[in-house]
Amino acid sequence: MKRILTYGTFDLLHYGHIEILRRAKALGDYLIVAVSTDEFNAIKGKKAYHNYETRKKMLEAVRYVDLVIPENNWEQKKNDVTEYKVDTVVMGSDWEGNKNFESLKEICEVVYLPRTEGISTTKIKNDLNLQEPINGLNQIPNN
Ligand code: C2G
């Protein structure tokens, strides 16, 4: 059983996200997604439209995803690889060469896949000319 791990915010889940998840899963048998918490997003300088719980639920609904765990900080990655017995970490090509992932090459395979052109969460927001949500982080009602 080849175990794959990828990281991301995955806000406003879109085709580019689905494509990286599809291709990551195709490299193995079990795909773990570490999704950035709202607190870690703040560290990354990102403010997601959907909060962590909503982004986690949406990822859990994707057929390629087997497990969703929180990404709380930059430092947890080596521990994640060890704890979840990961064979390969997969990221989009915009992360190629980043020390947070290059350092993982000591303990697992690291694969960068081409980003899907023409789509991003920022582009969606700009195209829809979204105003800042009044009530802060939006979420799916827990009904
Ligand atoms: N991605 C992609 N094509 C796009 C958009 C995103 O392949 N058009 C990939 C990114 O390269 C990344 C993943 O989808 O591998 C998630 O992208 P984001 O949600 O933007 O995540 P990011 O902010 O890059 O956070 O510790 C790493 C960070 O958590 C990654």
Q: Is 120 exposed, middle or buried (0-12, 13-18, 19+ CB in 10 A)?
A: middle
Rounded to an integer, what distance in angstroms lies between the CA atom of residue 112 and that of residue 48?
Answer: 24
Ligand 1 atom nearest the C-alpha of 20 is 7
Given a cut of 60, is residue 142 above it in pLDDT? no
User: Is 78 one of the annotated active-site residues of the chain?
Assistant: no
Confidence of residue 133 (pLDDT cuts 50, 70, 90): low
Nearest CA, atom 26, ligand 1 = 7
Rounded to two decimals, what is the model's pTM? 0.91
Rounded to an integer, what distance in angstroms lies between the CA atom of residue 96 and that of residue 109?
Answer: 13
Given a cut of 60, is residue 47 above it in pLDDT? yes
Sign of CA dihedral 44, 79, 81, 110: positive
Rounded to an integer, what distance in angstroms lies between the CA atom of residue 72 and that of residue 121?
Answer: 20
User: Which pLDDT belongs to residue 138?
Assistant: 52
Considering all CA atoms of the chain, what is the largest pairwise distance in Å, rounded to the nearest integer?
45
Q: Collapsing DSSP states into helix, strand and coil, what is residue 138?
A: strand
User: Which pLDDT belongs to residue 134?
Assistant: 54
Q: Looking at residues 28-32, what average pLDDT do you find?
A: 98
Distance (angstroms) between ligand 1 centre and the Cα of 9 equals 7
Q: Which of 2-11, 119-128, 133-142 has the highest mean pLDDT?
A: 2-11
User: Measured from the CB, is residue 7 less than 6 Å from ligand 1?
Assistant: yes
At 104, the amino acid letter reads L
| pLDDT tens for each residue of 51-110 | 999 999 999 999 999 999 999 999 999 999 999 999 999 999 999 999 999 999 999 999
More confident residue, 120 or 143: 120
